[in-house]
Amino acid sequence: MPELPEVETVRSGLEKWVIGWKISNVEILHSRAVRNNTTYDLRKVLPGRKITKVDRRGKYLWLLLDNNQALIIHLGMSGQVLLPNVVDPPHKHLRVRLLIEKIDKEIHFIDQRTFGHMTLDDLEGGIPKSVKKIAPDVFESEYQQKVVVEKIRKSNSEVKKLLLDQGVMSGVGNIYADEALWRAKVHPQRIGKDLTSAQIVKIIDKCKEVMSQAIAAGGTSFDDLYVNVNGESGYFDRSLAAYGQTGAPCPRPKCRGLITKARFMGRYSHFCTNCQPKSR
């Protein structure tokens, strides 16, 4: 699933092109691509609306419209937002097409697995109402580190589960949680209340560090399900230390551990058997 760095890469790519574009028509090619609205809602409201901003919180992306509404785009497992050459044949998994007025441009929402969706929503304080339910991410001005540290310090849950909890801090998924915990030398099953405030701050700092580096690399692509708006893959997968590295020697200097994979919380985690002890 695309995480914050991948969504930010899409957001910044859209921002370079679509500001000021006016939507002339909407074609909805799969009913599951639209959530909480009827297809009629989008076909009625979007034509004539101008895109004024492209914004994001965590894994949620939205196009701000000139009627103070937002078209939210959630990529789900395999969603893509492309700005294609309109003379090319349409993608076989094209779900929604936004046609743009007066210019030969379109915005395409592609989704092979159809877990992603678009939603039209009203704004509240500059944020879509349905997105306000999740916590700010570490790159937002609204983010309050003291609040996040306190939530983790009071929790009986495993630290990785807390990093993935979008009500604690949004945007972090399986890849960057594993990478941040490896960088912080913390086992993913450590309990939040057993960590010191300094350890939690370090974990959060490593989350921001690794996601910043991933953004600079265009995100992480393991297959063609995640690409940027030009259809290009990210290359941060070349820099992964833990995620997907099962059986490899830990890349930390002088560490003789191996990267292992264990299943808990219904998903796999990757960590070093030596420098990320379960208890300390």
20 and 120 together in one domain: yes
More confident residue, 152 or 267: 152
186 and 250 together in one domain: yes
Q: Tens digit of pLDDT for each residue in 38-96?
A: 766 899 999 999 999 999 999 999 999 999 999 999 999 999 999 998 888 999 999 99
State residue 73's pLDDT score: 97
- Determine which one of 49, 59, 95, 183 is catalytic: 59
State residue 101's pLDDT score: 94
Last residue of a domain, one of 128, 154, 176: 128
177 and 260 together in one domain: yes
State residue 265's pLDDT score: 80
The reply to whether 46 falls in a domain is yes
3-state secondary structure 242-267: CCCCCCCECCCCCCCCEEEEEEECCE
115 and 170 together in one domain: no
State residue 39's pLDDT score: 64
State residue 62's pLDDT score: 98
- Catalytic, 3? Answer yes
CATH of the domain at 172: 1.10.8.50
State residue 20's pLDDT score: 98
Q: Tens digit of pLDDT for each residue in 202-256?
A: 999 999 999 999 999 999 998 778 999 999 999 999 999 999 999 999 999 999 9
Average pLDDT for the chain: 95
| Residue span of the structural domain in which 77 resides | 4-128
State residue 18's pLDDT score: 98
Distance CA 33, CA 110 (A): 9
- Determine which one of 133, 193, 256, 267 is catalytic: 267
160 and 267 together in one domain: yes
65 and 100 together in one domain: yes
The answer to whether residue 117 scores a pLDDT higher than 70 is: yes
- Catalytic, 105? Answer no
The reply to whether 266 falls in a domain is yes
The reply to whether 277 falls in a domain is no
- Catalytic, 267? Answer yes
61 and 10 together in one domain: yes
Last residue of a domain, one of 74, 96, 128: 128
Last residue of a domain, one of 81, 98, 128: 128
The reply to whether 133 falls in a domain is no
> Is the pTM value of this prediction over 0.85?
yes
The reply to whether 280 falls in a domain is no
243 and 151 together in one domain: yes
- Catalytic, 44? Answer no
